[in-house]
Amino acid sequence: MRIPLLSLFLQGIPEQTAVLTLALVIARIPLKWNRILLIGIFLAFCAYVVRLFPILFGIHTILLLCVHFIILTWITKGDAGLSFIASSSSFLVLVIFEFSCMSLFMYIYRFTTENLFDDLAIRIAVGEPQVLLLFISAFLLNKYITRVARTYN
């Protein structure tokens, strides 16, 4: 499924940046925003390129999860277990938020799946709350981890 360029910039880059931010917090890697944004842009373009290929829907998510895992392993200097947990968890949270937001918007506004795929503005609008929820989750989890770390030190 091809992604329109507007959707890439308004939804793809923020979403991948938010997923990466949550994964970094889960992996307890310090947040360096210039690096996070660059990697988020890279991941969004990876998703864009993968979706150009005629593969089954959902395979792009698995491939992107693998790319996230590789990047986190590189950032954590080789802790594959932690990288796997962080990347898998952040994608699981994305799927939960995506499903919840889509279901809620479809129920409230009476959208159909056809509306979501055919209308770019609706697709972007429905995608923004999940991005916001991912960033809020990352921020709150980071705050909690920092507080717990200060308590035990």
Domain ranges of the chain: 5-152
Tens of pLDDT along 2-39?
A: 778 888 899 999 999 999 999 999 999 999 999 999 99
Q: Can you tell me the mean pLDDT for 39-48?
A: 93
| pLDDT value for 126 | 87
DSSP the chain: -PPPHHHIIIIIHHHHHHHHHHHHHHTT----HHHHHHHHHHHHHHHHHHTTS---TTHHHHHHHHHHHHHHHHHTTS-HHHHHHHHHHHHHHHHHHHHHHHHHHHHHH---HHHHHH-HHHHHHHHHHHHHHHHHHHHHHHHHHHHHHHHH-
Across the range 70-96, mean pLDDT stands at: 92
Average pLDDT over residues 77-104: 93
pLDDT value, residue 118: 83
